[in-house]
Structure 1
């Protein structure tokens, strides 16, 4: 059981616990499979100029999902997302083992662990449950049928965390994306996962000595990673 004074630790989902983009995989494998594949190709061509500009990528993803999910009821979509998430969590190659091990290390230390993600809630919850993290809190994006209700991206993550009673500063935050700089900046210790030199340089300018970098590709945590976390 978590102690009342437990440290709060924030984890991103895609790229930290799961290889790839879970919702993107759902769109490719389920929504745009078979006869709907030509629709995906046309959308990809039309949205290519937006995708080329990082600031517009979330908007391009919104259009892709909105058009792709048309015709699905909220109940149908929720069921599909749940099944797909459970299946995804059962694919060992999809799980980033060092990230999963680090979450369990924090849980064993009595920390409050919260996964905050731009992925859709039902899908992310199903993956977490499938990999043995049913007790971990989740703050995610929400859709109702084809309509996006909350896109939990960038600074919105901090707002949505606060709405769930998770307020900064948090002890540690793990992410692989610079879009999470608002989350990382609110942490006493920020951990950037699998970052390239340019990402590290940009994050270092904002975070300074609070920034730590790790490389999590597969297998178990390295001795160095174990020594650097969790923070008590």
Structure 2
């Protein structure tokens, strides 16, 4: 069972994993937009949107809003059932794509499962897409808390502090033994863990996380393959 802070007896058996950047290389839903939603005749529209939204993407506080606009416009005109089917197919293909899954993360999840831990993937990725990825890589038993859409409309954006709310709604409550993420937007989740693991972080991210998490912070470098 790993990793644990030396000298501390774990009190819970829940382990939280992010998806994008931790278990999966890249942004799964962003890849769906680029490869499916904005493919073919919609490609020029995507280029125009990228130009118009570029100033917002530069400002961290505005990136989520810009991404929402890209998503809504890219999915405009798609029925809920059609979109769900396309997301499921894409997720299955993405999970089977060579080099897409980050092998050390997958191995760590399997280690936790073998130890009897409750493993939950908490992600901003859309639920149907994320579920298809997890299923195809052999993690059908892993719980998932994700974003939800209805056609082009975003119902729940499971990002930042919202993840804590959504986890609680799914009866996943802190403290948890370990949390793994590559993003500082997950600091609330990392702070609720006995051990926080920051994946593939740069020096600035580590320094900021260390201010909040102190000695509970562990850093790892995981690569795909």
Question: TM-score w.r.t. structure 2 length?
Answer: 0.94
Residue from 51, 65, 86 that aligns with 1:59: 65
Contact 1:115 1:136 in 2 (8 A): yes
8 Å Cα contact 1:6-1:112 kept in structure 2: no
Deviations 1:119-153 (A, max 9, x none): 00000000000000000000000000000000000
Question: Unaligned 5+ residue runs, structure 2?
Answer: 1-10
Distance 1:206 1:6 in 2: 21
Report the CA distance between 1:34 and its aligned residue.
Answer: 1.1
Q: In the alignment, is residue 102 of structure 1 matched against residue 108 of structure 2?
A: yes
Listed as ranges, the gaps of 5+ residues in structure 1 are 220-232
Question: What residue is the counterpart of 1:191 in the other structure?
Answer: 197
1:217, distance to aligned residue in structure 2 (A): 1.0
The alignment's C-alpha RMSD in Å is 0.9
Q: 1:48 and 2:72 equivalent?
A: no
Are the counterparts in 1 of residues 12 and 177 from structure 2 also a CA contact under 8 Å? no
| Deviation digits for residues 14-63 of structure 1 (CA, Å, limit 9, x no counterpart) | 00000000000000000111111000000001111110011111110000
Work out the CA distance in 1 between the residues paired with 2:12 and 2:178: 12
- How many Å apart are 1:6 and its aligned residue? 6.0
**Contact 1:6 / 1:110 at 8 angstroms: preserved in 2?**
no
Q: Hey, what does 2:179 align to over in structure 1?
A: 173
Q: Equivalent residues in 2 for 1:1-232 (5 A)?
A: 7-218=13-224
* Separation in structure 2 between the aligned mates of residue 199 and residue 102 of structure 1, nearest angstrom: 22
Q: Which runs of 4+ in 1 moved over 3 A?
A: none
Aligned partners of 1:26 and 1:85: how far apart in 2?
9
| C-alpha separation in 1, matches of 2:41 and 2:153 | 22
Distance 2:118 2:40 in 1: 42
Alignment TM-score, normalising by the size of structure 1:
0.91
